[in-house]
Chains A and B, each alone.
Chain A
Amino acid sequence: MDPPLINESSFSAANPSAYSLAEIWPFGGEPGGVSGLGLRMGHMGQNPSGLGESSGNRDGSMEESTVTDQSGGGGGRKRRDVSSEDESSKMVSTSSANELNNSNGKRTKLAGSKHENGGSKAEAEASSVVGDKPAEQASKPSEPPKQDYIHVRARRGQATDSHSLAERARREKISERMTILQDLVPGCNKVIGKALVLDEIINYIQSLQRQVEFLSMKLETVNSRMNLNPAIEGFSSKDLGLQAFDAAGLLFGSQAPRDYAQGSQAEWLHMQVGGSFERQT
């Protein structure tokens, strides 16, 4: 959809590759991104035709992996971006690197104006679609999750390409969650092995759910027994307790917003208890 509409006149808008890369990695802290940029520029300069295609493709995939690395999830849209980027980089590869550099300034202006116009018209013109993307991409990596992954570095003897880095980060995250779960489930700390731990977790959840079922049955019998003698409802101590609790509930409901604003929750809990005592006596 994009490529056929991009002609020579709108070409300045059709190369988000170099621009977006420069925008994405303003920090210079990530080795993958910077090296990718350098690599790409080198390729652009060296082989203005033919071979540049494959290099562009490879860079695109590499960049995709690092971006997903940063803001994990929602890969669908990014994949689309990258694919269109590949196409545009193919087109770039047929031109010289000089033109590429010159067009950057123009393109930023164009992208800015298009972005101001709003996304509703974006589908009408291919050039505006392309112009919108860098803005999106530039806004994405500036999110805070970037800081989470910067410490993921390869140790000695570990693979360093971005895919394995991302995979390692994911595995670390999962094992972290696993330890949290292990702390939650009683008697799970001594168990060794992922499968056994998962077994324990599943058993615990099942037992809790069964307990809920059992307790609901118990509550049902209690509730129905209280239904049987509605005449002495006002005098039974249990029912009085229930009502006191409910009165506290009403208090809670009326006071909740104010107390959230004040942030003094311990105080009002005591107040509630006191109030319910007064009602009971």
Chain B
Amino acid sequence: MKTYPNLGSSASNDNNSRRSTSTTRAKFALRFIRSLKEMKKRGHVSNNSSADERSQRIKAAAYSSMAHAVGPRRAWARALLFKLQRSAKRHRVLTNMTRKMSRTCLILKQKKNKKKNKGINKKKRVTNGNDDVLLNQTDKLRGLVPGGKAMDVCSLFEETAHYIKCLATQVKVMQDIADQLSPK
């Protein structure tokens, strides 16, 4: 009750300085809270999912609401949404299967992924040079920024800048919501 006006006033303060950031902030907060509420509603009906699963779902909701708030203009938002949708689909397919089957599938997939990663690393290590460290780090950055694998360095940096801004906003908003909801 006390924190809410705080949130609103900070948003309006931001509005004076940086309008675009504040609008994405408001959009993200609203979307995220709506999805949280929905999750809570569904939690009343079926309370059999584990805490870990639920926190994963909240994380996915946070990321997807951020991407929705940013809009489809940014490459990273598009990539993030695509990734989330794909993983949600996979999750649905997996829940339809029996648990054992799903576990074996997951293990197999992880193994495959590990193999793939190793292959890529070996290939890239062949290209030696003075700026090997730089290349390595750009690759790391590519892994961190969603959709970064398909970008050139220039747009990668641009997207990274925007992504960092949005992540910071997201963390701030989530912190505010957690503070507001937690008991004192």
Contact = CB atoms under 8 A, between A and B. Distances in A.
Interface of A: 73, 170, 173-174, 177-178, 180-181, 184-185, 194-195, 198-199, 201-202, 204-206, 208-209, 211-213, 215-224, 226-227, 230, 237-238, 240-242, 244-246, 248-249, 252-253, 265-266, 269-270, 272-273, 276-277, 280
Interface string B14-44: 0110010001001001100110110110011
Nearest to A223: B40
5 contacts: A204-B164, A212-B170, A217-B58, A223-B181, A238-B182
A252 B30 contact: yes
Which secondary structure dominates where chain A touches chain B?
helix
B108 interface: no
Interface size, B (range): 35 or more
Given A204-B164, A242-B37, A269 B140 contact: no
Contacts of A230: 44
Contacts of A244: 1, 4
B174 interface: yes
B57 to A, nearest CB: 8
B4 A265 contact: no
Nearest to A173: B154
B175 to A, nearest CB: 6
A240 B134 CA distance: 51
Contact of B161 (A184, A221, A240): A184
Contacts of A208: 164, 167-168, 171
A193 to B, nearest CB: 10
Given A206-B144, A212-B62, A277-B5, 5 more contacts: A209-B144, A217-B55, A238-B183, A246-B34, A266-B16
Contacts of B153: 174
Contact of B178 (A184, A219, A240): A219
Given A205-B164, A240-B1, A249 B33 contact: yes
Contacts of B133: 195
B48 to A, nearest CB: 13
A220 B51 contact: yes
